């Protein structure tokens, strides 16, 4: 039968089964790193209702192995066989609401991305222990889907040790970890250190991705090499300002969104500030965090095309919670590390992003403005009104620090001429006419312009004032009262933070 229900003629088609060796190799290239790969295995353990998940990195004298052991409900022999097959499950099937899987691939693709031998041993309550193993070298040599029923001696020891007390659960065991440790590295200290660094990276990743499972009534214990992994809460929930939660809908399913505005550095101890900077630093950690069934998929991304990460937005972190029933709409990938908001809600996402960015900027603007208020009364504007022969004109303020500096340079003659030229030709009648007709659509100073150039300008002026013998605080107060910085108090706030200048 073909897709239209008609009988198919044997002459009209041929079977095109994949080549085992080639396909298995391709499965290695899904783009995981060691952290995302292990997180994908933990997804399976959580779906299997595990309460304890233990990860072990064992250097094993240069023949390293990694295991993930869970006390979830395990698999019987048939389930284990299906689990080891690639494409054992159809991604279109409906899943239990708390299932973290989707594609029927993760166990294999995540494992093969890092290792060439994957052994899984599993046991359900009242059932025996079953073992299956893919060894890519065997598949390659035989070019056939040969699934072994035996574990290596090393794996067997770990498996026997765990199941000796008749516990249920699953062990995933990786050997021939060629992606991070190529070849056999007996006693190679550098590789051993690197291996342990990877372990620590994985620990940090788990602390973020599964933090929502690490507390509360149903909490799960996560251990790495015997030590409990502590959660890392990107939202500093206890200390941050929570904006109201909003609920959007995608195909009738709820999308919960809650922005958090984190406290400014001055309100945190140096330890807290360093801790909450996260793995990638304060700047990189701003933006949306998407949780699918409480499991973090995307961390710190504004999600809206063209929306940049800016320093003044770095106190804004926004939690989005989605379920697994809208995986297609969100374009969830096999690695569970990307999600794209559906077009139907992108406008709302943008609105919430802008509102949160404003709240974060406000904190920096407030700090900058405070300085401007504290400073001397004199403000340096670029334009002045002047009267010549009883008539009104407009001139550029020669005392403005930026102009003054230029007028001290070797180009002072040309600059004077240029200023004269500009002053004498200001199109006053055109401005008056535009202003009276369309005052609402006149640009504000620097509206819509990227103010990143201000950073260098502020630094230059700051150095200039310091060179003239001003104190750090006086220098900053002067700058805060000078056009154009009056329009970007957040830049002044950020500059003080960087230079360690106390505003209070």
Ligand X SMILES: Nc1ncnc2c1ncn2[C@@H]1O[C@H](COP(=O)(O)OP(=O)(O)OP(=O)(O)O)[C@@H](O)[C@H]1O
- Which chain residues interact with ligand X by CB under 6 A? 40, 43-45, 48, 70, 72, 74-75, 83, 88-89, 101-108, 170, 334
Q: CB of residue 200 vs Mg ion: minimum separation in angstroms?
A: 24
Q: CB of residue 106 vs ligand X: minimum separation in angstroms?
A: 3
Placement of tokens 């374009």 in the chain: 331
Q: CB of residue 193 vs ligand X: minimum separation in angstroms?
A: 30
Q: Which does 83 bind (CB under 5 to 8 A by kind): Mg ion, ligand X, none?
A: ligand X
Q: Which does 300 bind (CB under 5 to 8 A by kind): ligand X, Mg ion, none?
A: none
- List C-alpha distances in Å: 6 to 2, 3, 10, 481: 5, 7, 13, 81
Among 44, 45, 357, 360, binds Mg ion (CB under 5 A): 44
Site for Mg ion, residues 65 to 124, rule: CB under 5 A: 101, 106
Q: Which does 303 bind (CB under 5 to 8 A by kind): ligand X, Mg ion, none?
A: none
Q: Which is nearer to ligand X, 101 or 375 (CB)?
A: 101
Q: Which is nearer to ligand X, 108 or 314 (CB)?
A: 108
Q: Which two tokens stand for residue 175?
A: 């050997």
Q: CB of residue 74 vs ligand X: minimum separation in angstroms?
A: 6
Q: Which does 105 bind (CB under 5 to 8 A by kind): Mg ion, ligand X, none?
A: ligand X
Q: Name the helix (H) or strand (E) containing 183.
A: none
Residues 6+ apart with CB under 8 A from 377: none
> Taking a C-beta distance cutoff of 8 angstroms, is the pair 67, 173 a contact?
yes
Dihedral, CA atoms, 265, 267, 268, 274, nearest 10 degrees? -10
> Taking a C-beta distance cutoff of 8 angstroms, is the pair 66, 56 a contact?
yes
Listed residue (292, 58, 99) closest to 181, CA to CA? 58
Q: Which is nearer to ligand X, 100 or 208 (CB)?
A: 100
Q: Which does 131 bind (CB under 5 to 8 A by kind): Mg ion, ligand X, none?
A: none
Q: Which is nearer to Mg ion, 46 or 363 (CB)?
A: 46
Q: Which does 117 bind (CB under 5 to 8 A by kind): Mg ion, ligand X, none?
A: none
> Taking a C-beta distance cutoff of 8 angstroms, is the pair 66, 177 a contact?
yes
Q: Which is nearer to Mg ion, 38 or 322 (CB)?
A: 38
Q: CB of residue 501 vs ligand X: minimum separation in angstroms?
A: 50
Q: CB of residue 81 vs ligand X: minimum separation in angstroms?
A: 10
Q: Choose the stretch contacting Mg ion; rule: CB under 5 A; options: 40-48, 241-249, 409-417, 440-448.
A: 40-48
Q: Choose the stretch contacting Mg ion; rule: CB under 5 A; options: 44-52, 72-80, 180-188, 291-299.
A: 44-52
Q: Which is nearer to Mg ion, 101 or 300 (CB)?
A: 101
- List C-alpha distances in Å: 476 to 82, 314, 424, 462, 482: 67, 22, 33, 7, 10
Got the DSSP string for 97-149? TT----SS-HHHHHHHHH-SEEEEEEE-TTS-EEEEEEEHHHHHHHTS---BS
Point out which residues pair with 56 in neighbouring strands.
Answer: 67
Q: Which is nearer to ligand X, 89 or 451 (CB)?
A: 89
Q: Which is nearer to ligand X, 175 or 477 (CB)?
A: 175
Q: Which does 75 bind (CB under 5 to 8 A by kind): Mg ion, ligand X, none?
A: ligand X
Q: CB of residue 47 vs Mg ion: minimum separation in angstroms?
A: 7
Q: Which does 45 bind (CB under 5 to 8 A by kind): ligand X, Mg ion, none?
A: ligand X
432 three-class SS: helix
Region for 23 from its dihedrals, namely left if φ exceeds 0, alpha if ψ lies in -120 to 50, beta otherwise? alpha
Q: CB of residue 105 vs Mg ion: minimum separation in angstroms?
A: 7
Q: Which is nearer to Mg ion, 44 or 356 (CB)?
A: 44
Q: Which does 323 bind (CB under 5 to 8 A by kind): ligand X, Mg ion, none?
A: none
As a whole number of angstroms, the longest Cα–Cα distance in the chain is 105
SS (H, E, C) 4-38: CCCCCCHHHCCCCCCCHHHHHHHHHHCCCCHHHHH
Site for Mg ion, residues 445 to 504, rule: CB under 5 A: none
Q: Which does 102 bind (CB under 5 to 8 A by kind): Mg ion, ligand X, none?
A: ligand X
Q: CB of residue 304 vs ligand X: minimum separation in angstroms?
A: 27
DSSP tag of 342: -
Q: Which does 103 bind (CB under 5 to 8 A by kind): Mg ion, ligand X, none?
A: ligand X
Q: Which is nearer to ligand X, 203 or 335 (CB)?
A: 335
Q: CB of residue 19 vs Mg ion: minimum separation in angstroms?
A: 25
SS (H, E, C) 289-328: EEEECCEEEEEEECCCCCCCCCHHHCCEEEEEEECCCCCC
Q: Which does 321 bind (CB under 5 to 8 A by kind): Mg ion, ligand X, none?
A: none
Q: Which is nearer to ligand X, 170 or 285 (CB)?
A: 170
Q: CB of residue 54 vs ligand X: minimum separation in angstroms?
A: 12
Residues 6+ apart with CB under 8 A from 421: none
- What is the rounded CA–CA span in Å between residue 429 and residue 379? 27
> Taking a C-beta distance cutoff of 8 angstroms, is the pair 311, 283 a contact?
yes
Q: CB of residue 462 vs Mg ion: minimum separation in angstroms?
A: 53
Site for Mg ion, residues 185 to 224, rule: CB under 5 A: none
- What is the rounded CA–CA span in Å between residue 358 and residue 368? 15
Q: Which is nearer to ligand X, 48 or 229 (CB)?
A: 48
Going 321 to 327 to 330 to 332, the CA torsion angle's sign is positive
Listed residue (156, 171, 154, 53) closest to 111, CA to CA? 171
Q: Give the binding site for Mg ion (CB under 5 A).
A: 43-44, 101, 106
């Amino acid at each position: 039968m073909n897709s239209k229900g008609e009988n198919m003629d044997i002459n009209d088609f041929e079977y095109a089964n994949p080549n085992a060796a080639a396909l298995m190799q391709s499965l290695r290239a899904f783009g995981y790193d060691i952290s995302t790969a292990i997180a994908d295995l933990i997804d399976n353990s959580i779906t299997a209702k595990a309460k304890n998940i233990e990860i072990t990195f064992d250097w094993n004298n240069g023949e390293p192995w990694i295991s993930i052991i869970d006390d979830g409900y395990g698999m019987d022999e048939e389930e284990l066989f299906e689990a080891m097959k690639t494409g054992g499950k159809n991604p279109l099937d409906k899943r239990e609401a708390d299932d973290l899987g989707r594609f029927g691939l993760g166990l294999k693709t995540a494992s093969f991305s890092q290792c060439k031998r994957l052994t899984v041993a599993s046991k359900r309550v009242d059932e025996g222990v079953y073992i299956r193993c893919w060894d890519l070298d065997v598949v390659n040599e035989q070019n056939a889907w040969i699934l072994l029923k035996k574990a290596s001696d090393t794996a067997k020891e770990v498996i026997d040790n765990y199941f000796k007390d008749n516990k249920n659960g699953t062990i995933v065991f990786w050997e021939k970890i060629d992606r991070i440790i190529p070849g056999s590295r007996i006693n190679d200290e550098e590789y051993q250190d690197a291996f342990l660094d990877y372990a620590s990276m994985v620990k940090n990743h788990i602390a973020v991705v599964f933090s929502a499972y690490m507390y509360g009534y149903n909490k799960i214990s996560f251990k790495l090499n015997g030590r409990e992994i502590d959660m890392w809460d990107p939202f500093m929930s206890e200390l941050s300002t929570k904006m109201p939660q909003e609920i959007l809908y995608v195909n009738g399913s709820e999308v919960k969104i809650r922005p958090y505005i984190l406290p400014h550095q001055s309100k945190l101890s140096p330890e807290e500030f360093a801790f909450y900077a996260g793995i990638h630093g304060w700047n990189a950690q701003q933006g949306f965090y998407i949780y699918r069934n409480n499991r973090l998929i995307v961390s710190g991304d504004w999600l809206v095309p063209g929306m940049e990460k800016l320093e003044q937005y770095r106190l804004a972190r926004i939690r989005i919670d989605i379920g697994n029933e809208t995986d297609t709409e969100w374009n969830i990938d096999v690695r569970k590390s990307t999600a794209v908001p559906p077009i139907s809600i992108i406008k709302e996402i943008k609105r919430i992003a802008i509102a949160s960015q404003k709240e974060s900027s406000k904190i920096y603007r407030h700090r900058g403005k405070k300085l401007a208020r504290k400073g001397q009364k004199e403000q340096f504007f670029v334009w002045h009104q002047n009267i010549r022969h009883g008539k009104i004109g407009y001139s550029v303020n020669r005392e403005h620090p930026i102009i003054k500096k230029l007028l001290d340079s070797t180009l002072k003659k040309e600059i004077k001429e240029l200023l004269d030229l500009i002053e004498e030709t200001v199109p006053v009648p055109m401005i008056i006419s535009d202003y009276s007709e369309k005052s609402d659509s006149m640009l504000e100073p620097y509206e819509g312009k990227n103010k990143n150039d201000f950073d260098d300008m502020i630094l230059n002026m700051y150095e200039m004032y310091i060179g003239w013998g001003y104190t750090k605080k006086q220098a900053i107060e002067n700058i805060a009262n000078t056009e154009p910085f009056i329009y970007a108090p957040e830049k002044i706030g950020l500059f003080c933070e960087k230079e360690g200048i106390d505003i209070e």
